[in-house]
Structure 1
Amino acid sequence: MNDDSSLKEQQDGGRSHWWRRVTQRLAGGPRTREDLLGLLRDAREAQLLDADAMSMFEGILQTAELHVRDVMVPRAQMVTIERDWTLAEVLDVVIESGHSRFPVVGESKDEVLGILLAKDLLRYAAAVPGGGAPDFDLQRLLRPAGFVPESKRLNVLLKEFRRSRNHMALVVDEYGGVAGLITIEDVLEQIVGEIDDEYDEAEGARILRQDERRYLVSALTSVEEFNAHFGTKLPTGDFDTIGGYVLHLFGHMPKRGESVQLERLSFNVQRADKRRVHQFLVTVAPA
């Protein structure tokens, strides 16, 4: 018997064994989440699911446990536009950030007047920088802003996004203040994993400068790229990504808001879930 035939028999045997276990379990139906996960793991072992599909199933189940506060962009990291800005000031922020949607605020971030879509500025693209446009009226361009409590579960929020066709919502705390924002992409990333999006200045860009000392760094940034950018000499033998290296420093799976210090660099977890860290805010201390 050749190797191909032997492999096929093993696969067929694995599928038969998996099907027997499925029929046994489904005789009364899976009664708990663990029963369902057990069935999926059996399917993975029988090679009926690949690793990516298994991860997505786990992510789908996890959305029923995670809340908006677990994945939202914190208030301090929100990129907003003020209602009295000129066209030139608005375009500067839109171009620098690369985002597609912006909350427009009044006196503070708690006073959200609406959402500005970057595509609505295209007709002003030919305006001379600094010269403004005679017919530019920011108020007329605003879309209604949606608000959700930070305690809302992600699976419920995803249904609301689909029904309303909104892609962004402002997150409010128990006192009615704005705690952050969340997008439909933030929810989908819990299912399919990290998505390259407007947070990337260009394809493959993973380090975004915020100001002279602060940088948003994707956890998938290679250690070599991190060293080249920050002039550090982190070892490259044991870890491929900066996320792996920083997790080693923590010694556990950190939650959003946790920080760890490495010489002149401070790593603050900005986006994370129970399975992985997505993004750090790296602050460089003065020399």
Structure 2
Amino acid sequence: MQEHPSGVKSDAKPHRSLFERLTALISPIPENRAELLEVLHDAHGRNLLDADALSMIEGVFQVSELCAGDIMVPRAQMDVVDLTKPIEDWLPLVLETAHSRFPAVEGDRDKVVGILLAKDLLRYYAGENFDVRDMLRPVVFIPESKRLNILLRDFRANHNHMAIVVDEYSGVAGLITIEDVLEQIVGEIEDEYDYDEEEDNILRVKDGAHGPKWRVKALTELEQFNQVLGADLQHDDVDTIGGLVSSHLKRMPHKGEEFDIGLLRFEVLRADPRQVHVLLVEKLPPPPAGDAA
């Protein structure tokens, strides 16, 4: 509120200068999402908005457009505990993957009966009377078509962190966590393959069945990739290993997906609907002499 010289207060808005009014006419308020993003990109170009903030705003827009089926961990890549087997059979998986939550199934991945929190297994190590079924938390089922912005709201309201995604036939299609949704906004939060951004583009991480496995940033140049791994990957239109992977598949791969290119096996460690981030690569043995290529 303003006060006139007479002492009477007024709710009138401050008077805008001629320059301000002309500017408003020349640069109208964005009328749709595309125009708003254009304004934000222009603000970034003029150093009024940093890259991280711009990326998060774009992520917020994207969350409202994506569905659970777009970013879920596919059924085949789900790490589950099978309650029909002794705890000793699946406990090594819990220790190896270091997830905080696991879908608990009864013999079949379509029979998800609950969610097991890894921390509840401490009672097993403490030597207490332990029945894993008593430890299970309720499972939440959602359709593949559920929008991520609605799912995030439900996660927060119900204090859930994991949901099982089902297809149109009520079969299990995959799983999704609150972390998966948040990563669409703020980028990667954490996983078992976290690494220092200052590390080399290519890092030897462990030994596989056929030799060392390498963690490779998708932005690694093909020349460097070929030099370190002794490969000979070439492409006329792309310069990075991530670009070559997307070009080879003719689509954007999903997190957890595995595929072969020549004598190299790739596993996608990090990816979102926009780009691949990190790959796990190992060399395969050459086929026996006489076999068809």
TM range (shorter): 0.7 to 0.9
Give the 3 Å change call, closer, same or farther, for CA 160–194 of structure 1 in structure 2: same
Give the 3 Å change call, closer, same or farther, for CA 249–167 of structure 1 in structure 2: closer
Q: Aligned pair 1:144/2:143, yes or no? A: no
Give the residue type in structure 2 aligned to 1:232: L
Give the residue type in structure 1 aligned to 2:56: M
- Among the aligned pairs, what percent are the same residue? 45
In the alignment, what sits opposite 2:266?
267
Give the 3 Å change call, closer, same or farther, for CA 175–195 of structure 1 in structure 2: same
Give the 3 Å change call, closer, same or farther, for CA 211–160 of structure 1 in structure 2: farther
Q: Aligned pair 1:79/2:79, yes or no? A: yes
Quick check: 1:254–1:269 contact (8 Å CA) kept in 2? no
**SS of the residue aligned with 1:110?**
strand
In the alignment, what sits opposite 1:37?
37
1:49 and 1:114 mapped to 2: Cα distance?
A: 44
Quick check: 1:260–1:267 contact (8 Å CA) kept in 2? yes
In the alignment, what sits opposite 1:220?
217
The alpha-carbon deviation at position 23 of structure 1 amounts to 4.1
Give the 3 Å change call, closer, same or farther, for CA 98–141 of structure 1 in structure 2: same
1:210 and 1:75 mapped to 2: Cα distance?
A: 26
Quick check: 1:150–1:171 contact (8 Å CA) kept in 2? yes
Give the residue type in structure 1 aligned to 2:163: A
More strand by share: 2
The alpha-carbon deviation at position 223 of structure 1 amounts to 5.5
Q: Deviations over 1:31-70 (max 9, x none)?
A: 2111110221122122111111111111111111112111
**Unaligned runs of at least 5 residues, structure 1:** 1-18, 128-132, 236-242
Candidates 176, 179, 183, aligned match of 1:182: 176
Give the 3 Å change call, closer, same or farther, for CA 271–48 of structure 1 in structure 2: same
Give the residue type in structure 2 aligned to 1:156: I
**Unaligned runs of at least 5 residues, structure 2:** 1-19, 233-238, 287-293
Give the 3 Å change call, closer, same or farther, for CA 35–215 of structure 1 in structure 2: farther
**SS of the residue aligned with 1:180?**
strand
1:78 and 1:211 mapped to 2: Cα distance?
A: 20
1:120 and 1:207 mapped to 2: Cα distance?
A: 33
Q: Aligned pair 1:60/2:57, yes or no? A: no
Cα RMSD between the aligned structures? Answer: 3.8
1:263 and 1:120 mapped to 2: Cα distance?
A: 44
In the alignment, what sits opposite 2:4?
none
In the alignment, what sits opposite 2:276?
277
In the alignment, what sits opposite 1:106?
106
The alpha-carbon deviation at position 271 of structure 1 amounts to 5.6
**SS of the residue aligned with 1:104?**
strand
TM-score by length of 1: 0.72
Q: Deviations over 1:132-163 (max 9, x none)?
A: x6x12011000001111111121111111111
Give the residue type in structure 2 aligned to 1:254: R
Quick check: 1:80–1:105 contact (8 Å CA) kept in 2? yes
2:23 and 2:216 mapped to 1: Cα distance?
A: 38
The alpha-carbon deviation at position 275 of structure 1 amounts to 2.2
In the alignment, what sits opposite 1:50?
50
**SS of the residue aligned with 1:111?**
strand
Give the residue type in structure 2 aligned to 1:246: G
1:215 and 1:69 mapped to 2: Cα distance?
A: 33
TM-score by length of 2: 0.71
Quick check: 2:73–2:176 contact (8 Å CA) kept in 1? yes
What is the 5 A alignment of 1:167-246?
A: 167-197=161-191, 199-200=192-193, 204=196, 212=209, 220=217, 232-234=229-231, 244-246=240-242
Give the residue type in structure 1 aligned to 2:157: R
The alpha-carbon deviation at position 286 of structure 1 amounts to 4.2
The alpha-carbon deviation at position 285 of structure 1 amounts to 3.9
2:273 and 2:143 mapped to 1: Cα distance?
A: 21
Give the 3 Å change call, closer, same or farther, for CA 42–246 of structure 1 in structure 2: closer
Number of residue pairs aligned between Structure 1 and Structure 2? 250
In the alignment, what sits opposite 2:11?
none
More helix by share: 1
The alpha-carbon deviation at position 244 of structure 1 amounts to 3.5
